Structure 1
Amino acid sequence: MSESTSRTAIAQIVDTMRALAGSHPGFRPVHAKAVVCHGNFRATPQARSVSRAPHLQGEAIPTVIRFSNASGNPDAHDGVPDARAMAVKFQLPDGKNADILALSIEGFLARTPEEFLAFLQAQLPDPATKQPRPDAVPRFLEKHPATAAFIQRLTQKPVPASYGQCSYHGEHAFKFTAADGTSRFGRYHWMPEAGEALLSPDDAIKRSANFLREDLESRLRNGPVGFRLLLQLADESDPTDDVTVLWPADRPKVELGRLEVTDISPTGMADERRMVFDPTNLTDGIGLSADPILLARSEAYSISYDRRSKGE
């Protein structure tokens, strides 16, 4: 796959996402409905043994957190079954940022940008009839068992009752390097301190259309909402360049730190327009893997940001 081919596929991914979401000028083509919050993160002592990254040395680090639904419709009901996401921007002492993006479902549904584009295009309506092609997605899933496995995990998981009582999983592997030069690959997992709370789709859809924001507002009136950040360490046999493959559950996990979500941003709408959360936005001590989906995301976010900032 050439660089120009990849760039073309990435631009087509953004175009196809926008087509599937419908016209919502100024919004992201996915994860359009969100709540932006402020918080603080403090690393555990053992985090230093994993990485020399500045936010993993034990100081309190201010953060910006974005909770979102997967839909590209900013007015979607919060009870619609789908993935939820949590993006965290660490505001580092040197004035730079580092980001973690995570989903409520582990893994991802495609290994490459081209594969992801093909899955999105299978969902487009037939140009002649303007109706969905009933056989297109099933045919794709037959040929792509990893995508089928992700969809199965998604459909089997009930609807989160709260942004603050949902676990979130980083899809990609990153290379963590400690001060002594030792390196390990790992994947992030955010675990809610209050435990998980889930709803059946029937119960979720009966709630207020914005119940996730309302729940978060209510919780924050009583104090911070806490999450623990765990890092699942890869074995030498675990692939670090294939986002569709889940590592065995018994791989060791290191607790990297604790996040406190303290308040909802009073400038949330402006934050939405200007902020980009990008998993390739890293700092010394954390490096990229060769995962082609990970390497494509920055370009996709750049295209998306450019379009929404123009009100498209």
Structure 2
Amino acid sequence: MPRIPPARFVIGCAFIASALTVVVVSFAWVAGWIAWPGTAPALSPARLIDAFEHAGGRHLGFRRNHAKGICVSGYFDSNGNGAALSRAEVFRPGRTPVTGRFSAPGGNPAESDAATTVRSFALRFMMRNGEEWRTGMNSAPVFAVRTPQAVFEQQEAMRPDPRTGRADPARLEAFFAAHPETNALRDWLAAHAPSSTFYNANYYSINAFRFTNSDDATRFVRWSVTPETPYAPFDASRNATRDPDFLAHDLRTRLREHPVTWRLMLTPAGPGDPVDDATRAWPAEREAHRIDAGTLVITSAESQIDGACRDVNFDPTVLPRGIAPSGDPLLAARAAAYAESFRRRTAEEARANVR
């Protein structure tokens, strides 16, 4: 082997070290670990979850958002209609087992159900071919903000004032003024009282996804589950003194009598409909073209402490063939933030068990 001159060897090593430094520094900057002088650090999953902890408190072993919840199990009976939009096995005629979780947004697992304005429903479809479809839905059809950065700013605006223990109203109003896209959700919530139970609410995918059928035809789709139990609004005056966990208790009582059901509805986008902005609803006429894909049945409920949903990360980008993410920036951010939340809570649980 020819000998490399010492000078060339030193120069080569310096070049490699310089290149590695550039890579490491660039990665650290993108991850939000460092910032160039005069600039704010980039938003990373860790910083985003830190912001949720600042707003809702740090509760060891719990999810950093949707901390309070209950596990559920059941199945989805497909009628085959969804195959017109997607080749995913879940839409073939037949039954698919599901594991799920009902919850409400927020980081405090002890918050009273009476204080919540949105219900949430996460599902994990486990298909015969080994694929999975995971989804997280809310009872409001739109999201508050469009970008991960705005989610971070919202959580920072909700950080409690040490003097009062509550968010500063002036800080919140400044956030809303800077983000007029929040008006869509705020107006919707003002006009729609939260449901009285978990099982009489509609739940919406909010984000759009790209569906591809067996003919390789592609459509952007949002979906919802529509309850077969009639909606009833939460009445604060009648329920003010109720059990703070009445949502979970009502669900358990109902399931002892019989299952609860929804219809899974697929709504294709029309020309010009936004497919990368979760703050904008599609025109009402799109509902005339939605497809009833089958019946979702929940048969049992368990505590989230030891139930089947405990260790499930309901990452909405875990998708079967035939469904793919849209360009909505919230989807990648949700996947990364959920992973960070999962890492923290499982590590805390492991440390507690070691003791």
Please give the range of the TM-score, normalised by the shorter of the 2 chains.
Answer: over 0.9
Aligned residue for 2:96, secondary structure, equals: strand
- Equivalent residue for 2:346? 309
The alignment yields a C-alpha RMSD, in angstroms, of 2.2
Deviation at 1:184, TM superposition (A): 0.7
CA positional deviation for 1:17: 0.7
When the two structures are superposed, what TM-score results if normalisation uses the length of structure 2? 0.82
Deviations along 1:106-145, one digit per CA (max 9) or x if unpaired, are: 1111111011111211222457997743311111212211
Amino acid of the residue matched to residue 259 of structure 1? Answer: L
Equivalent position to 2:336, from 276, 299, 311: 299
Matched, 1:202 2:201: no
Query: Partners of 1:194 and 1:19 in 2: how far apart?
Result: 37
Whichever of the two has the greater Rg, that structure is 2
1:157 is the counterpart of 2:192: yes
Residue matched to 1:281: 318
Aligned-partner Cα distance in 2 for 1:214–1:165: 14
The answer (yes or no) to whether the contact 1:162–1:212 under 8 Å persists in 2 is yes
Residue-by-residue CA offset, 1:124-180 (whole Å, 9 max, x unaligned): 245799774331111121221111321232244223211111111111000111111
5+ residue gaps, structure 2, are 1-28, 33-40, 350-355
- The aligned counterpart of 1:19 is 54
Q: 2:168 maps to what in 1?
A: 133
Q: How does 1:56-75 map to 2 (within 5 A)?
A: 56-75=91-110
Separation in 1 of the partners of 2:183 and 2:155?
Answer: 14
- Residue number among 183, 189, 205 corresponding to 1:170 in the alignment: 205
Is contact 1:9–1:117 with CA below 8 Å preserved after alignment?
Answer: no
Q: Give the equivalent residue in structure 2 for 1:260.
A: 297
The 2-side partners of 1:135 and 1:287 are apart by 40
Q: Which fold has the larger relative contact order, with Cα–Cα distance below 8 Å and residues 6 or more apart in sequence? A: 1
**Which region of structure 1 is more displaced relative to structure 2, 167-176 or 126-135?**
126-135
Shift of 1:223: 1.4
Report the more deviating stretch, 212-221 or 144-153.
144-153
The size of the alignment, in residue pairs, is 311
Identity %: 33
Q: State whether residues 196 and 235 of structure 2, in contact with CA within 8 Å, keep that contact through their aligned partners in structure 1.
A: no
Deviates more, 1:88-97 or 1:34-43: 88-97
Cα displacement (A) at 1:250: 1.0
1:199–1:125 Cα change, 3 Å = closer
Q: Distance in 2 between matches of 1:76 and 1:273?
A: 19
Q: Describe the shift of the 1:123–1:138 C-alpha distance in structure 2 as closer, same or farther (beyond 3 A).
A: same
**1-structure distance, mates of 2:304, 2:50:** 28
Q: Does 1:31 align with 2:66?
A: yes
Q: Structure 1: which 5+ runs fail to align?
A: none
For residue 295 of structure 1, report the CA deviation from its aligned partner.
1.6
Identify the residue that residue 158 of structure 2 maps to in structure 1: 123
